[in-house]
Amino acid sequence: MATLVSTTLDAIPQIRTALRATFAGGVTRPIQWRQNQLYQLARMAHDERDAICDALQKDLGKPKTEVLAAEVGVVIKRALKSAEKLPQWAKPEHPEVPARQKLWKPTLYKAPKGTVLIISPWNYPMILSFQPLIGAIAAGCTAVLKPSELVPTFSQLLADIVPKYLDPNAFRVVNGYVPETTKLLDLQWDHIFYTGNGKVARIIASAAAKHLTPMTLELGGKSPVIIDSTCDIDLAAKRILWGKCNNAGQASLIHCQDLFKCRTGLIGVSFWQICVSPDYVLVQREKQDELVKAFEKHYNAFFPEGALDSPMFGSIVSDLHHKRLTSLLTRTKGEVVLHGRVDPARRRMEPTIVKDVADGDSLLEEELFGPILPIVPVDSLKHAIDFVNARSHPLVLYAFSENESVKQQLVKETQSGNIVFNDTFQQLAVDDLPFGGVGESGYGSQVMKYTYEAFSYLRSSIDMPKEAEPELAKRYLPRSEEAVKALTASVHLPIPRSSL
């Protein structure tokens, strides 16, 4: 891997100060300027696509097609679409108000929050760096982007190419490890957008709380799959396996082996965070063997020669992570029914299916973050729902069913950031749906307009004309009995009786 050149510690506060000056000077205010920066971001993704693919091949062994489809192309499309939609998003709104208040010109302005910090992960480093940045640019913010040190080739590439395309007075890349991240967190920001693990999120949130800094946290969790007996088992297996094989099962996965030094002291952190990769499957007991056979069928179709040497299947991010995955497999009490080959020297691991996994098994302890898929047999839909609800709320709940009443039951009786029926992963392709968590899986939303809204706030306004003075007369002292009656009228509003 390439050597990452860290930003000097002394430079980090200076960068923040310079970005604040740019924001205060109104450079980012014009809509046309923001659109131009979004066009430049799209142009960078297009023109530098070969360098980006090469960097992610070196860092992660990512197939070029996957990078172009899931990262480069998405950044280009969403940057261009955001530029197109921006005038509509940024247009002041005039809410519906009572007739007597219309003269006051009630207005909602969409105001940028200011200078923001974006901390992005390694697994999909391009889209998860630039998707938040697209929103920050659109909102009119200045921003520091801190990419992951675990993809040094890519992160160094960003430091080289971002200033060539985006205004360096408004957008900067800060690279580094623990000291650099700590220095960033010591500073005050107007918003922090963090994709990562709940443990580290607590550290970052504590640092942000000292400055009352708002945050967006994308934290993931174990994403379950519930398979109902009414679904097409063969098709479900195909779609689940496809979702699990994305990025070698490390889909939207964040990994870090760091010591973050905060004011509370040194905190050792070694974590992985999964977002949307299917983590475990709940299926009715009598359907388990049918599901296993379907997984075997589609694995052989996806990888006729196996996935170990396939250029279409990525590598595990680190030796430590690879050892952790093999350790989980040695400790499971389930039955390994599709045992992928392993090559520790190259950090390779083929997809592995484990059936008859029970509560308390090693594979259910925490997020898996790799190409291992446990199958948990259940006796009923209620059993599956209770199993999911006994754990932290996931970022996404997948369910395969053709029964509409079952779908509605899952919507009503479970909690997750997203709920997806009859597919995996594909929800990320819908530009007009917000993506975010609930509870332990995070808070706040992103994608297109929702990312724009994360980096802006609603600034309420009225403009009281002289002509409103007769209406306002009753507020002044001394008040007549008629004025008091008018001011307290709401106290006497009729309240409907409950129908329960």
List the catalytic residue out of 48, 218, 350, 453: 218
Compute CA distances 234 → 227, 322, 459, 489, whole Å. 11, 30, 52, 65
Q: Is 275 a catalytic residue?
A: yes
Pick the catalytic residue from 141, 231, 245, 275.
275
Question: In terms of DSSP bridges, do strands 342-343 and 348-349 run parallel, antiparallel, or are they unpaired?
Answer: antiparallel
Cα–Cα dist 355/332, whole Å: 10
Determine whether 296 is an active site residue: no
Kindly give, in sequence order, each residue whose CB lies less than 8 Å from that of residue 280, ignoring residues fewer than 6 positions away: 222, 224, 225, 357, 363, 364, 368, 373, 374, 375, 376
Max Cα–Cα distance, the chain, nearest Å: 90
Distances from the Cα of 437 to the Cαs of 169, 217, 323, 430, in angstroms?
33, 8, 29, 16
With beta carbons less than 8 A apart as the criterion, state whether 82 and 134 touch: yes
Annotated catalytic residues are: 218, 275
